[in-house]
Amino acid sequence: MNVGGKFSSGILFLNFNQDYSCIAVGTPEGYKIFNSDPYTLYYTQNNGGVGLVEMLFSTSLVSIVGSGDNNTSQRRLIINNIKNNVPICDLNFVTAILSVKMNRKRIVVIMETKIHIYDINNMKLLETREIAPNPKGLCALSPSNTNYIVYPASQNNGNILVMDILTLETVNLIQAHKSQISALALSQDGTLLATASDKGTVIRVYTLPNATKSLSFRRGSIPAIIHSMTFSLDSKYLCVCSDTGTIHIFKIDFNNNSNNSNGNNTNVSNSGSGGVYGLANGLTSKMSSYLPEVISQVWEPSRDFARIKIPAGIPSICALSQNNKTVMVLTADGLYLQFNFDESIGGELKLSKEFSLLTDQQDEFSAKIL
């Protein structure tokens, strides 16, 4: 999650790794990596501002992008082996890097109008795909061997492209929302896609790749900015963070017909790079005759199963621990919060531990904000 140093913490970037076992923090001085549970400092480097940090699970492979300050470039991607502190790849681009995603097969570099796809084994460039303007670098990459990547198809609507980055084929176009996409998330096995629009009132979950089923969740009736969404490792829950100060945890249950409907999708086949620009930039007009009308929800979308209160207006990202007993929350003002989670009860969760991401000390300090 890009923070941009807008808060007193000075933090530029926050994120978990793919299985939520580690925390990556980018700062004006460099970057830090912590173990999430037990909370301990694993690695730190202070060689200049870092605006993006992407880990590959708990391996020593870390991708970093500079903050653009103090002689660090937002157009330069460095892949480090932090075990022996040696850079193994250094790539420079023409425009700023907005996001980097990795799994065990691919590295994907996202610019505003392009996506570069590399083979992680040899860093060979496999494809450069032109996309519709994506100024926030919104995308999600499946951590698993399903190898789907999803990103907005247009700035003018809520359509999402699903691409297989092994075959380099576009496999689906999903009509997720009427308005612009603001957040995306994929489950660990790559079979579920969560979407939110710039209204932020309704969250939808689709099955992949065909989007034949979907769920709708009601975050609230007042529009909100969705900062982040994450699935639990077992895909039973979806955590949603917004600027309202409430973190919502929704239960994923396709057997509950009250919020289950047929998905809106168009299957697309497009191998190789030919025609890719047309799909990305002119997709709305090209596919409009095939897209179904948005299906009105017959039932009211489901409400959250559990929730957390934090101060409003502070960007955050949260995740469930591997045993689903703890909700872990990272905030832009430099806090790492842990909340007890009981799958049989839900409701409003209570703070159990609080740490600071701003120091190298891992001592727990008393809760002050709740």
CA atoms within 13 A on the CB side of 189: 8
Pair of tokens at residue 184: 């995306």
Per-residue pLDDT at 278? 45
- 191 pLDDT exceeds 70? yes
Is residue 284 pLDDT above 80, yes or no? no
Residue 136 has pLDDT above 70, yes or no: yes
8 A C-beta contact, residue 80 and residue 64: yes
Predicted pLDDT of residue 261: 61
The pLDDT score that the predictor gives to residue 6 is 77
Please tell me the CATH code under which domain 159-252+299-369 is placed: 2.130.10.10
pLDDT tops 70 at residue 92: yes
Which residues fall within 8 angstroms of residue 213, CB to CB, at 6 or more apart?
206, 207, 254, 260, 261, 262, 263
pLDDT at 298: 39
Q: Backbone dihedral region of 153: left (phi > 0), alpha (psi from -120 to 50 degrees) or beta?
A: alpha
Q: Does domain 10-137 have CATH number 2.130.10.10?
A: yes
Percentage of residues in the chain having pLDDT higher than 70 = 85
Backbone angles phi, psi at 284, to 5 degrees: -60, -50
Mean predicted lDDT score pLDDT of the chain: 88
Domain residue spans of the chain? 10-137, 159-252+299-369
How many residues make up the chain in this entry?
A: 370
219-227: average pLDDT: 92
Mean pLDDT, residues 302-331 taken together: 96
Take residue 25 and report the two structure tokens written for it.
Answer: 């923090």
**Are the CB atoms for 27 and 43 separated by under 8 Å?**
no
Q: Tell me what percent of the residues of the chain surpass a pLDDT of 90.
A: 78
Q: Answer whether 10-137 and 159-252+299-369 agree in fold.
A: yes
170: tokens are: 């576009």
Contact 147, 135 (CB under 8 A): no
Q: Identity (one letter) of the amino acid at 366?
A: S
| Measured distance CA(190)–CA(192) in Å, rounded | 6
Alpha-carbon span 355 to 91, nearest angstrom: 35
The rounded radius of gyration (Å) of the Cα atoms in the chain is 20
pLDDT digits (tens, 9 = 90+) for 95-133: 999 999 999 999 999 999 999 999 999 999 999 999 999
The CB-side HSE value for 79 (13 A sphere, CA atoms) comes to 20
∠ Cα 219 226 220 (to 5°): 20
Q: How far is CA 282 from the centre of its chain?
A: 25
pLDDT for 15-73, tens place per residue?
Answer: 999 999 999 999 999 999 999 999 999 999 999 999 999 999 999 999 999 999 878 99
| Per-residue pLDDT reduced to its tens digit, 237-270 | 999 999 999 999 999 998 874 556 666 665 554 4
pLDDT of residue 255: 85
Q: Name which residue leads in pLDDT, 181 or 361.
A: 181
Which phi and psi (to 5°) does residue 280 adopt?
-80, -45
Contact present, 14 and 337 (Cβ < 8 Å): no
Identify the pLDDT of residue 291. 42
Q: What is the mean pLDDT of residues 149-159?
A: 95
**How do strand 226-231 and strand 260-262 relate by DSSP bridges?**
unpaired
Residue 252 neighbours by CB under 8 Å, 6+ apart: 192, 205, 215, 231, 235, 236, 237, 238
User: What was the pLDDT predicted at 263?
Assistant: 62
Range of lowest pLDDT (111-115, 211-215, 297-301, 308-312): 297-301
Q: How far is Cα 184 from Cα 167, in angstroms, rounded to an integer?
A: 22
If you search the block for the tokens 């709305």, which residue do you land on? 284
Q: Please tell me whether the peptide bond between 38 and the residue prior to it is cis, using omega within 30 degrees of 0.
A: yes
Q: How confident is the model at residue 220 (pLDDT cuts 50, 70, 90)?
A: confident
Cα gap 190→197, rounded to integer Å: 20
- The CA dihedral of 324, 326, 328, 329, to the nearest 10 degrees, is 110
Task: Please give the average per-residue pLDDT across 294-315, as a whole number.
Answer: 78
pLDDT value of position 69:
87
Quick one: which H or E segment has residue 286?
Answer: helix 283-287
pLDDT for the residue numbered 192: 97
Q: Which pLDDT does position 71 carry in this prediction? A: 85
